[in-house]
């Protein structure tokens, strides 16, 4: 992990709301700064999978802030009406965006966790099958929803969430993630389904 304080001289920290890192008027977030905070763990949770572990990123207040601020910058002046966070790692970022952008937060949960009447979709991920659910009264026609998760692999999870949004009559504005693994085809699959994607960092599968 880089010494975060060594990054400081290159950053002008502006205490405005939302907080931004700027160089002149340009935001200086870049992939190279963020990548070292995402750890590759081979053969987790099963052989052949290189797990991209985002936990180091949350140990660095500066890197965490860079992620949140970059996403806030991207969506601050859009017509998004709701933030949708995906269980479980999407819950680490989605609420931060909902708070900063002053938007309602919709929680998409793994099977069996929601107490009221819910809609469900089944899907596959890189390493298993799963079910995602959402309370059926959370969205309606006219809503424009930003889906938020930590990572796009096959796109199965975000596609299932997008299907649920659409079943409620709402529109998917975009799917945002910290990490994309483009070789697994998820962002392409989402784009083909009419869902634009945005990620801060992309890894090749062979990259360590
Ligand atoms: O693009 P996909 O192939 O769908 O994979 C991406 C999803 O997989 C991971 O979640 P996981 O199911 O491991 O659940 P967790 O967040 O509870 O760890 C990750 O957090 C994404 O939600
Ligand atoms: N390679 C991967 N690393 C972390 N989370 C994932 N979810 C699906 N594939 C993943």
For the domain that residue 94 is a member of, what is the CATH number? 3.40.50.2020
Instruction: Supply the pLDDT for residue 9.
Output: 38
Distance (Å) from CA 112 to ligand 2 centroid: 22
79 catalytic residue (yes or no): no
- Cβ 49 under 6 angstroms from ligand 2: yes
Could you give the CA distance from residue 18 to residue 76 in angstroms, rounded to a whole number? 9
Instruction: Supply the pLDDT for residue 1.
Output: 56
Answer yes or no: is 22 within a domain: yes
Could you give the CA distance from residue 3 to residue 177 in angstroms, rounded to a whole number? 25
Instruction: Supply the pLDDT for residue 127.
Output: 85
Which residue, 25, 47, 50, 31, is CA-closest to 39? 50
Instruction: Supply the pLDDT for residue 201.
Output: 95
- In percent, the amount of the chain with pLDDT more than 70 equals 86
Distances (CA, A) of 27 to 31, 37, 89: 12, 19, 25
Counting the structural domains of the chain, the total is 1
Q: Please write the tens of the pLDDT for every residue from 53-67.
A: 999 999 999 899 999
Query: What residues have CB less than 8 Å from 5, skipping those under 6 apart?
Result: none
Regions of the chain where pLDDT drops below 50: 4-5, 7-26
Range of 11's domain? 4-202
Q: Please write the tens of the pLDDT for every residue from 161-173.
A: 999 999 999 999 9
126 catalytic residue (yes or no): yes
- Cβ 89 under 6 angstroms from ligand 2: no
Distance (Å) from CA 107 to ligand 1 centroid: 15
Answer yes or no: is 166 within a domain: yes
Answer yes or no: is 207 within a domain: no
Answer yes or no: is 208 within a domain: no
Answer yes or no: is 179 within a domain: yes
Tokens of 72: 């806030």
- Cβ 187 under 6 angstroms from ligand 1: no
Instruction: Supply the pLDDT for residue 21.
Output: 45
Q: 41, 51 in Cβ contact below 8 A?
A: yes
């Amino acid at each position: 992990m880089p010494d975060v304080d060594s990054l400081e001289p290159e950053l002008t920290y502006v205490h405005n709301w939302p907080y931004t890192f700027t160089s002149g008027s340009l935001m200086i977030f870049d992939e190279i700064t963020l990548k070292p905070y995402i750890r590759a763990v081979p053969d987790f949770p099963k052989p052949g999978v290189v797990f991209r572990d985002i936990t180091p990123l949350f140990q660095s207040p500066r890197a965490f802030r860079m992620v949140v601020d970059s996403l806030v910058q991207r969506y601050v002046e859009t017509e998004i009406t709701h933030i949708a966070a995906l269980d479980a790692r999407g819950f680490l970022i989605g609420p931060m965006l909902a708070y900063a952008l002053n938007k309602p937060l919709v929680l998409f949960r793994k099977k069996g966790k929601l107490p009221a009447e819910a809609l469900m979709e089944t899907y596959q991920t890189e390493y298993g099958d799963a079910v995602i659910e959402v309370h059926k009264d959370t969205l309606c026609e006219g809503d424009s929803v930003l889906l938020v998760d930590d990572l796009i692999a096959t796109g199965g999870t975000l596609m299932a969430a997008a299907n649920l949004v659409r079943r409620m009559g709402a529109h998917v504005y975009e799917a945002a993630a910290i990490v994309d693994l483009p070789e697994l085809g998820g962002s392409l699959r989402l784009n083909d389904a009419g869902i634009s994607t945005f990620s801060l960092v992309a890894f090749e599968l062979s990259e360590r």
